[in-house]
Amino acid sequence: MAEISDVFFVDGMRTPFGRAGEKGMYWNTRADDLVVKAIIAVLERNPAIPKDRIDEVAVAATTQQGDQGLTLGRTTAILAGLPQSVPGFAIDRMCAGAMTSVTTLGSGIGFGAYDLALAGGVEHMGRHPLGAGADPNPRFLTEKLVSPDALDMGVTAERLHDRFPALTKERADRFGMRSQHRTQAAYEAGKLQPDLVPVAVKDASGAWGIASDDEGRRPETTMEGLASLRTPFRAHGRVTAGTASPLTDGATMSLLAGAAAAKEFDLKPKMRMVSFAFSGVEPEVMGLGPVPATEKALRKAGLRIGDIGLFEINEAFAVQVLAFLEHFGIADDDARVNQWGGAIAIGHPLAASGVRLMIQLAAQFAERPDVRYGLTTMCVGLGQGGSVIWENPHYDGKKR
């Protein structure tokens, strides 16, 4: 009989994130091959786990076509050398795809249906731009269910500035600059590199090289430089390339386990899942999604926002993070929030990003035994938010 189990994040790895487009490092690399690299790396780092004991593989992608279509969980499992007895499936919740892969398979582990699972996501936005090939139902517009530009994420970010005048362009610029500087500091301290999977890549001339770090970083960013950038989503607007996540290619993968499997294979989990929640908001202000999702996850966990010691908030746009912080009374520069930078600097390959947040939180937990709970949260296109609360297995109850 299946038994209710704790759900553990055992490990996670990702490819370096690359700029989307012909000049990006992954232009000649297939999306599914990026996933395969991440799967192989996670399993190689956890050699005690027999491949035939993986119960399920879930891989998310937002634009499921071409080399990131065809039931990615199953195809990439086969390509990564897992036995054909291992099943897999694809999943889509736009930006929260990988997060949903984790919560879906985590739910299966909690219910007792799975012992071990692989959950991740990929987005090759160079090959597959957001919404490519989609055919939205005309009722969305004819019945005015959503605004015509609800899928233009930059416009939704501008609306947050409209709705909350206190969230000024200057505050957003400063947050964007801080993301770049924190990411660079994390690189210089060697914080991010241990969880990156090097990828062999071929450039336009046919020469081979190695993608070993995130391509879109701009550590030289200054407030003066940000102030001079154009506002592409609205004339005289407030959202710029410096306060938005760039179009990005990349893949992430996590290894999840139940309590029995963790004991059987003597695993050392990096986090325990406490609760999760998804919530809907108006698509026109999709950046607000993390607020109700987090409130819901906190209620389910019996916690308050003050119990959260570390935050990993996906930086789709600076203003969206600021709206979350403002709601919960957290300072823009709070050291608990995105301490190693975020998507403005690292990149946001849509469906892959949720597991990147988890990878960074897990690494921070290892350094912070004084912190018991952490949060990964993100906004989602079409008006949603997703949040997962995690417990630190290294917590020792001692304040530092």
- Which is nearest to 346 in space by CA: 17, 12, 14? 17
Q: What is the pLDDT of residues 49-74, one digit of tens each?
A: 999 999 999 999 999 999 999 999 99
Write the CA distances from 376 to 136, 297, 390, integer angstroms: 30, 11, 8
Residue 95 appears among annotated catalytic residues: yes
- DSSP single-letter state for residue 286: G
How many Cα atoms are found within 13 Å in the side-chain-facing hemisphere of 80?
30
Q: Residue 204: is it exposed, middle or buried by C-beta count within 10 angstroms (0-12/13-18/19+)?
A: exposed
Q: What is the pLDDT of residues 377-389, one digit of tens each?
A: 999 999 999 999 9
Q: Confidence band (pLDDT; 50, 70, 90) for 152?
A: confident
The active-site residue, picked from 124, 128, 161, 379, is 379
Per the model's pLDDT, the better-predicted residue between 130 and 187 turns out to be: 187
The active-site residue, picked from 95, 124, 128, 161, is 95
| Coil vs helix vs strand at 215 | coil
Residue 348 appears among annotated catalytic residues: yes
- Which is nearest to 9 in space by CA: 260, 198, 265, 267? 267
Kindly report the number of other CB atoms within 10 A of residue 165's CB atom: 7
The active-site residue, picked from 124, 128, 348, 394, is 348
pLDDT higher than 70, residue 151: yes
Retrieve residue 330's tokens.
Answer: 């957290």
Q: What is the pLDDT of residues 265-280, one digit of tens each?
A: 999 999 999 999 999 9
Q: Confidence band (pLDDT; 50, 70, 90) for 14?
A: very high
Cβ 374 vs Cβ 365: under 8 Å = yes
pLDDT of residue 400: 65
Spatial separation of the C-alpha atoms in residues 335 and 364, rounded to whole Å:
12
Q: What is the pLDDT of residues 78-119, one digit of tens each?
A: 999 999 999 999 999 999 999 999 999 999 999 999 999 999
Retrieve residue 28's tokens.
Answer: 């000649």
Cβ 32 vs Cβ 79: under 8 Å = yes
- Interior angle at CA 7, CA 4 and CA 10, nearest 5: 145
Angle between helices 72-79 and 31-44 (to 10 degrees): 60
pLDDT of residue 174: 98
Across the chain, mean pLDDT equals 96
What global pTM score does this model have?
A: 0.97
